[in-house]
Amino acid sequence: MKTQSNLEKVLSGGHLAVTSECGPPRGASAQTVVDKAKYLEGVVDAVNITDNQTAVVRMSSLAGSVLVKQQGMNPLLQMVTRDRNRLAMQADILGAYALGIDTMLCLSGDHTKFGDHAMAANVHDIDSIQLIQMVKGMRDEGKFQGGAEIKGVVPKMYIGAAANPFADPFELRVMRLAKKIAAGADFIQTQCIFNIEKFEKWMEGVRKMGLHEKCYILAGITPMKSVGAAKYMKNRVPGMDVPQELVDRMSGVAKEDQPAEGIKICLETMERLKEVEGVAGFHIMAIDWEEKVEEIVKQAGLYPRPQV
Amino acid sequence: MEHFEPVIVAFCCHYCAYTAADMAGSQRLVYPANVKIIRVPCSGKVDSLHIAKAFEKGADGVYVAGCLDGDCHFKNGNDKAARKVAHMRGYLEEIGIEPERLEMVKMSAGMGERFARVATEMTEKIRKLGPSPIKAAAA
Amino acid sequence: MITAERKPLDEILSYIKPFKRILLLGCNECVTVCAAGGRKEVGVLASGIQMSMLKNGASIEIREHTLERQCDPEYVEELVPIIDSADAVLSMACGCGVQQLATRFKDKPVFPAVNTKFMGGSDRHGVWTERCQGCGDCLLGVTGGICPIAKCAKQLMNGPCGGSVSGVCEIGDEVECAWHLIWERLKALGLTDQYLEIMPAKDWRAGGGSGPRKIVREDLAE
Amino acid sequence: MVGAGLGGIRTALDLAEAEKDVVLVDRANNIGGLMTQLDRTFPTNNCDLCTLAPNLSESNRQEHISLMAMTEVRGVRGEKGNFTVSLATRPRYINLDKCTGCGECLKQFPHCVTFTPGLDHRAPTCMRYPQATPYAYAVDLSKCDDVAALVQCCPAGAINPDELGSTGDIACSSIVLSPGASLFDPSGLDYLGYSDNPDVVTSLEYERILSASGPTQGRLLCPSSGKQPKKVAWIQCIGSRGLQKGAAPYCSGACCMFALKEAMVTKERFQEDIETTIFYMDMRTFGKDYERYYQRAKNEFGVRFIHSRPHSVLRAPGAERMELGYTTDDSSRLLTEEFDMVVLSTGFRIGDEVRELASVFDLEINDSNFPVNPGLNQVETSRPGIYVAGTFQGPKDIPETMVQASAAACMAGKDVTVPEIEREREPALPPEKNVVGEEPRVGVFICDCGENIGGVIDVTTLVERVSKLAGVAVAEGVGHGCSRESMAHIRQTIEEQNINRVVIGGCSPRTHESKFQDLIRKAGLNKYLLEFANIRDQVTWVHSHQPVRAIDKAEELLKMAVGAVRKSHPLAEHSLPINKNVLVVGGGVAGMTSALEIADQGFKVYLVEQGVRLGGIAAQLHRTLEGDDIKSFVNDLIERTRAHELIEVITGGIIVDHTGMPGMFTTGMQVGRQMFYRRIEHGVTILATGAVPNRPDLFGLGKSEKVVTQLELQNLIHEGPERVQAWDNVVMIQCVGSRTEENPNCSRICCQNAVKNALHILEVNPEARIFVLYRDMRTYGFQEEYFQKAREKGVIFVRYHQDEPPRVEISDDQVAVTYHDIILERRIQVNADCVGLSTGLVAPDDSSEELAMIFKLPRTHDGYFLEDHVKLRPVDLPTPGFFVAGTAHAPKTIGESLTQARAVASRAMTILAREAINLGAVTAKVDSTRCASCLICVRACPFDVPFINADGYSEIDPARCHGCGMCAAECPAKAIELLQFEDDQVLAKIEQLFAKAVA
């Protein structure tokens, strides 16, 4: 075992892992975090705490993670390279580990253009792959990125990275995963999967390079609340691939039945993905619909979560 | 100003608009005397600087008149002129001069009637707008 | 070359408000090439300033002049005979030129009339795009001749983010995904293996991270 | 030159520019012919006259052309080289020297005054020499009941009711006839209802309805209801192809394109609001790129095509729409469809007046009253020294008219053998005074133009006001400034008062600038020290209701002109000395003919042929459709070319490089097997590089000796008649490798080739059954009569669709052709003894591509050289000094190639006759000390003229600059000035306009 991370234990134990996420509030209320996290208690193996998601200012992911940790749950600290330079990020990693956080996800982050501070500088001192490298260097070599040695306790982070099989150029997507793994990613959370065929095609490439044996791949899942949400994801979110059939299927049912249909689609997707070699678990992103995660996990037969 | 007679400069291309003006003449089409023509070989020859200077010196209105779309004798001078006019309208607004005081119009050589109509409409429009802010301040 | 764009007229006017006589100074280098600060723009701006003054019943004396290059001291020296005919200088050169003037004429107020934008080139008539950020440590040799620092909105050095769709960057359809271009180019050149190499975190010191940069050619510098 | 339509003008101008004197005679009041009535012309759908106008050299025109309008030919005596022609001129009752075209008489006596400066909304004004030539009215005294009042109304005193007209003889060396054809009158065809149904119009009438200056001011309205039609039908071949009562036997050649253009322009303007349908027999879009035009009409514009000849156009009493009855190929059922307007595509006819003209000249005419030409030279007639061009020679469209007009000029010019009588030239121009550095002394001369100006403003007051302006030395009123007396006075004033800048306050510089430029030049001033203030067209004509404001505006315009002229400076017109040698590339019939025509006029010609033999494709041909013997013709041509002392034939020569400017080119070539490099200096380049027979891999070509091309078939007929005699069945397939997706154009020659070979086969073997499988039979002009003859002789013509082509199956020595018979609606198989494929011509891809690169000439998408203007300058290439002849331009017959070769010779003569080329002075000029080499001018120029030179600065070649000034307007360094329109001149106008009145 590289770390003390619960997620690592679940994955290395051969279980299908389940993670989900919790977006911190746009205010300083600890209770909001706690309330949201409660929905996920006992349902997932780790809770992603997003880092100024979509470039909108929120409570810091480090603080959010600590609040979740205080609830006895396993936070998964997200960190984007957009907002801080390598000094700040390393400082936060040390702090996070000191506060009991042992799992993180390394991202480059959405461009500030999309957020509430479009005028802010995009720092990008390093990119996500370099962040992975940096976290791994801290953990495995006990060194800061600048080369100096870490004094005393070394942060042993279980390192995650993101992958989007649906972005272009498609042929580069497997190679980019390989690069992330080479940089030190232990597990991967993918972009929401709606186009299963394309995902399977990507996994084929992943298996061809043997990447599924070098790291754990958690398939991203998002239940659609309504046909509007489906259309929004299809047309507005860059790098999201929602096939027209799904939009049609959603619009084919009455408005009040759409949430149920969304969950149904989500479960069907999970069933199919379980069959895909190399899928090591699920990352359920129920945006503003955290209360449904439990139902999904249960109906997907992934409950109860293993105690490791 | 009790009786305001605007002064309007019309940059007219030789091949179409200037010829249309001659046509208006030979058909004795009446239009206001406020419009003064400066002949250029092509509307694409009109320089942003010439437009600026016309306003600076006291023009109440300026228009550039070129050939109809696709009919420029020099291929695309009228399109270039239209872009320049659009650009200069933005600049006039920045300065604090109503952009409507500057126009791009297109006509063929035979459109004497259109020439007269444009001259009349432009004069009426500028008359309603009143003297250019530059002239107004000097008065 | 360096590109620039004229500042809003109001900002320019706010700088020169206290002065009666202005030297409006163009530059015949980059800013001429990008149609921001050559003789023509000097004339158009002078006219615009004058109009702004006349509109308020005032007027201003503007002397128009254009130097071959404002960023070199010898050219700037040309101004010595005329500099005192003006109370202030309004420069249409890039920041380099403005600073050269300020350095040479210590007691003369100098103001910029343009915003210096970026190092780039023209794509076509009337369109200029950014090509280089002067990072001081050129990595074009391994990115197929396309710069991810200048052309990727996130300056990613190891490939496209998840927002790249059909060759277009997530920030908008006007912007091409730099990494898409790099990848296509590497493929065309048969250099796709290069992509798999992880590019390590960049040393930004060469790019100005440690203060103003300087080049000294010891064989030339006295 | 009899007939001053477009073709006649071209002939006259060509001759005048070649320093030959021309008497241009026309029956009409003004010149221009039919084209002035057209709205727009195909294939550009633009009005194109203004493209032609700037190329006319005014001085040559004045010096060499005497125009006699309203004049008819009464008789002709003598022979080639020495004719005497009797002319009769009707009285105009207007003195041309005095008439200013003011229009007062028209206003007061509209019924008896005629003046039609082109009916079109653009043609009159685009015809800049000037709006109408002569720019004068004519009076019809028979309609006038108060002659005295009419005479009184003319402010210029130009009306003279006592004029008697005149008759007289002129001597000339040669005569060119281009009186034009008329259009068929469909009134007699009851079933079309033309005479009693107002919504049935001819194509020319439809053109007038579309035109902005037409009866409806350009609004497309049904004559009956005044409503915009929703459905318009065109019916083709009205009065042509022997299809109706009284119809001519020939094809009129231009109507298919005319209808296409009208339908397209209609669709362009009204799009979905209107439906256009063309009923046709064969779409004959055989001209250069015409097939693509047809495809555009069909595919892009949605024009509907129905292969049918409607049998009736009826309107039930009270019905809003007309009912058109027709049948289609695939059904024998009678169909009817409703239309709002029906346009009859009426063809060309020789009118009675023109037929009389032919008899006056004692020309032999054919059954259709067109002059007979004795051999392959289309512009020759039965009478030596008399030439024809245009639709009088045969039905044709504008480009072919222009080609023939130039060819006729070539022939006519050669006959001018009489040593030129020393012209009473005006005394040589005085040297130009050096005005640089002198204080401007401006002379302002203000016309009253009779009442035109003087009737609205007081010229004396204006003169007084203007005389106070800075720099004005003299200001005077000059009455009619352009009258002889006033011109003399102005000249004298300039000389005596030491005037160094001139302002004319009068009419439009568009019409009068060159006249006054010449005047001040004669007074010793540079032409460009002149400004015009157009106080007539822009002031008195349009502000007559506000005389006070009018005089103020006139003063302002004069102030602006004075301000600008003070900044003017002498400009040099660019001119280049001309090297009088000619390079002809290509030794086929076109190249040899051009070479001979030019060499016969005394110029050295280098004829470069890349192969080893002269003769081109024609050397493989035997006879023309009309029966002329090509073999002996070509042999004779080769012999004469080889023997000519001024022609140097270079065979085995491959052009490798080329530099220079028009009038002084240098071309390098490698010659012979040794590839010896040789350089030739020349002033004119003629491309006659030809086309090559196409050999597509279709219908089993090359797989059986029974499947041959038409070219091979022709050889078989002439060289192996015994084989032909054994044939039972012959199948010909048209459009093989032409009109396809890969090669969309029509090869033009194949239909008549098939007809020719079919007739020749029948001569040898009258029993042979011949099937011609075709898509559209394009036997245009008189070829139609041979098509008719072939049908009469039993040749079976079967139409096939492009998407259902015939099939050729080869087994052992059997060849079977299967085709779908549209009318019988079944498949038919023929065992053919010979299959003749009409494979047409294609551009020689590699060599023409290379030449295009070396000479920097554009080509069409299918590789033919692209002329400067497809309509009006069909043999001039875009680079001045370059011309194209023969099939290098597009596929064509031998006769047509020869005509083009002569046209090229004529165009070349216009350059060779001069000592230098004048390029004018209005060009852009770069100040290299200011240039930032930014490339903005390079990118802005619509003609790709500026370039960054070896010194690193922009350079603009005045010889190529068109003078638009776009570069000057965009130059960010203010390094470019457009001469005569310089910034300080424009700014001076602005300054002066707003300058406070002098206290």
pLDDT of residue D417: 65
pLDDT of residue A305: 95
ipTM of the complex: 0.89
**Chains contacting A with at least 3 CB pairs below 8 Å?**
C
Chain D CB contacts of C44 under 8 Å are none
CA gap D243, D263 in Å, rounded: 23
CA gap D393, A297 in Å, rounded: 92
CA gap D608, D613 in Å, rounded: 11
pLDDT tens for residues D2-54? 988 888 888 988 898 888 889 989 887 766 665 555 545 444 444 444 333 43
Q: Among A189-198, B17-26, B111-120, which stretch is predicted with the lowest mean pLDDT? A: B17-26
Q: Cβ contact (<8 Å) for A169 and C171?
A: no
In a domain, D109, yes or no: no
Q: Cβ contact (<8 Å) for C55 and B134?
A: yes
pLDDT of residue D154: 83
pLDDT tens for residues D826-868? 899 999 999 999 999 999 878 888 898 888 787 888 889 988 7
Q: Which residue among A114, A130, A172 places its CB closest to the CB of C160? A: A172
**Chains contacting C with at least 3 CB pairs below 8 Å?**
A, B, D
pLDDT tens for residues A47-70? 999 999 999 999 999 999 999 999
In a domain, D599, yes or no: yes
Chain B CB contacts of D121 under 8 Å are 108, 110-111
Asked if D652 and D508 sit in the same domain, the reply is no
In a domain, D531, yes or no: yes
Chain C CB contacts of D942 under 8 Å are none
Residue of C nearest to A166 (CA): C162
Average pLDDT, chain A: 95
Chain C CB contacts of D930 under 8 Å are 28, 39
Average pLDDT, chain D: 87
Q: Cβ contact (<8 Å) for C48 and B95?
A: yes
Asked if D197 and D336 sit in the same domain, the reply is yes
Chain D CB contacts of B32 under 8 Å are 543
pLDDT of residue A304: 93
Asked if D292 and D357 sit in the same domain, the reply is no
Q: Which residues constitute the domain of residue D373?
A: 1-30+58-90+169-180+350-418
Contact by Cβ (8 Å): C150, C130: yes
DSSP sequence for chain A: --S--HHHHHHHTTPPEEEEEEPPPSSS-HHHHHHHHHTTTTT-SEEEE-SSGGG---S-HHHHHHHHHHTT--EEEEEETTS--HHHHHHHHHHHHHTT--EEEEE----GGGSS-TTS----SS-HHHHHHHHHIIIII-B-TTSPBPPSSPP-PEEEEEE-TTSSSHHHHHHHHHHHHHHT-SEEEEEEP--HHHHHHHHHHHHHTTGGGTSEEEEEE----SHHHHHHHHHHSTT----HHHHHHHHTS-GGGHHHHHHHHHHHHHHHHHTSTTEEEEEE--TT-GGGHHHHHHHTT--SPP--
Asked if D899 and D937 sit in the same domain, the reply is no
In a domain, B104, yes or no: yes
Among C135, C157, C170, which would you mutate to test the A interface (most chain A Cβ atoms within 10 Å of its Cβ)? C170
Q: How many CB pairs under 8 A join B and C?
A: 46
Distance in Å, alpha carbon of B46 to nearest chain C alpha carbon: 13
Q: What is the mean pLDDT of residues D957-976?
A: 93
pLDDT of residue A82: 96
Q: Cβ contact (<8 Å) for C125 and D939?
A: yes
Q: Is D218 exposed, middle or buried (0-12, 13-18, 19+ CB in 10 A)?
A: middle
Q: Which residue among B56, B96, B138 places its CB closest to the CB of C47? A: B56
Q: Cβ contact (<8 Å) for D131 and B21?
A: no
Distance in Å, alpha carbon of C48 to nearest chain D alpha carbon: 16
Q: Report the range out of A93-107, D282-296, D343-357, D873-887 with the highest average pLDDT.
A: A93-107
**Chains contacting D with at least 3 CB pairs below 8 Å?**
B, C
Among D936, D941, D944, D984, which would you mutate to test the C interface (most chain C Cβ atoms within 10 Å of its Cβ)? D936
Asked if D878 and D832 sit in the same domain, the reply is no
Asked if D499 and D486 sit in the same domain, the reply is yes
Asked if D186 and D332 sit in the same domain, the reply is yes
Task: Give chain C's domains with CATH numbers.
Answer: 2-118 (3.40.50.2300), 135-207 (no CATH)
3-state helix, strand, coil in chain D (%, to 5): 30, 25, 45
Q: Does D994 touch chain C (CB under 8 A)?
A: no
Residue of A nearest to C159 (CA): A176
Q: Which residues constitute the domain of residue B125?
A: 8-133
**Chains contacting B with at least 3 CB pairs below 8 Å?**
C, D
Residue of B nearest to D130 (CA): B19
Q: Does B57 touch chain D (CB under 8 A)?
A: yes
pLDDT of residue D369: 92
Distance in Å, alpha carbon of B109 to nearest chain D alpha carbon: 6
pLDDT of residue D35: 58
List the end-to-end C-alpha distance of chain B, in Å, as a whole number.
8
Q: Does D have 3 or more CB contacts under 8 Å with A? A: no
In a domain, B139, yes or no: no
Among B45, B56, B57, which would you mutate to test the C interface (most chain C Cβ atoms within 10 Å of its Cβ)? B56
Q: Among A91-100, D448-457, D502-511, D751-760, which stretch is predicted with the lowest mean pLDDT? A: D448-457
Chain B CB contacts of C10 under 8 Å are 94
Q: Looking at this protein, which amino acid is placed at residue D283? A: M
Tell me the CA distances in angstroms from D42 to D7, D262, D294, D657, one per residue in order.
Answer: 17, 9, 11, 36
Q: Cβ contact (<8 Å) for D974 and C39?
A: yes
Overall number of domains in chain D: 6
Distance in Å, alpha carbon of C171 to nearest chain D alpha carbon: 30
Contact by Cβ (8 Å): D834, D727: yes
Distance in Å, alpha carbon of C113 to nearest chain B alpha carbon: 14
Q: Model's pTM, two decimal places? A: 0.68
In a domain, D38, yes or no: no
Among B36, B87, B111, which would you mutate to test the D interface (most chain D Cβ atoms within 10 Å of its Cβ)? B36
Q: What is the mean pLDDT of residues A125-139?
A: 97
- For residue C213, give both structure tokens: 């940069």
Asked if D521 and D643 sit in the same domain, the reply is no
What are phi and psi for residue D660, nearest 5 degrees? 110, -175
Asked if D556 and D536 sit in the same domain, the reply is yes
In a domain, B138, yes or no: no
Which domain CATH number covers B29? 3.40.50
Residue of C nearest to A129 (CA): C158
Contact by Cβ (8 Å): D207, D37: yes
pLDDT of residue D36: 56
Q: Which residue among C38, C43, C125 places its CB closest to the CB of D932? A: C38
Give residue limits of the domains in chain A: 6-299
Q: Which residue among A108, A125, A183 places its CB closest to the CB of C198? A: A183
pLDDT of residue D148: 85
Q: Which residue among B49, B137, B138 places its CB closest to the CB of C47? A: B49
Q: Which of D814, D842, D870 is the last residue of a domain?
A: D842
pLDDT tens for residues B79-100? 999 999 999 999 999 999 999 9
pLDDT of residue D130: 34
Overall number of domains in chain B: 1
Which domain CATH number covers D897? 3.50.50.60
The CATH number of domain A6-299, selected from 2.70.70.10, 3.40.50.300, 3.50.50.60, 3.20.20.220? 3.20.20.220
Tokens 């030959």 appear where? D20
Can you give the pLDDT of all 222 residues of chain C as single tens digits? 999 999 999 999 999 999 999 999 999 999 999 999 999 999 999 999 999 999 999 999 999 999 999 999 999 999 999 999 999 999 999 999 999 999 999 999 999 999 999 999 999 999 999 999 999 999 999 999 999 999 999 999 999 999 898 899 988 868 999 999 999 999 999 998 889 899 999 999 998 888 899 999 999 998
Asked if D745 and D822 sit in the same domain, the reply is yes
Q: Cβ contact (<8 Å) for C29 and D932?
A: yes
Contact by Cβ (8 Å): A141, A156: no
Chain D CB contacts of C5 under 8 Å are none
Nearest to D256 by CA among D221, D220, D297: D297
pLDDT tens for residues D510-540? 878 888 998 999 999 999 999 999 999 999 9
Asked if D560 and D447 sit in the same domain, the reply is yes
Residues of chain C numbered 31-90 and touching chain D (CB < 8 Å): 32-33, 35, 38-41, 43, 66
Residue of B nearest to D969 (CA): B47
Interface of B with C (CB under 8 A): 47-49, 52-53, 55-56, 91, 94-97, 133-134, 137-138
Contact by Cβ (8 Å): A306, A53: no
Return the exposure string of D585-621: e unless at least 16 CB atoms fall within 10 Å of the residue's CB, then b. bbbbbbbbbbbbbbbbbebbbbbbbbeeebbbbbbeb
Q: Cβ contact (<8 Å) for C40 and D974?
A: yes
Q: Does D940 touch chain C (CB under 8 A)?
A: yes
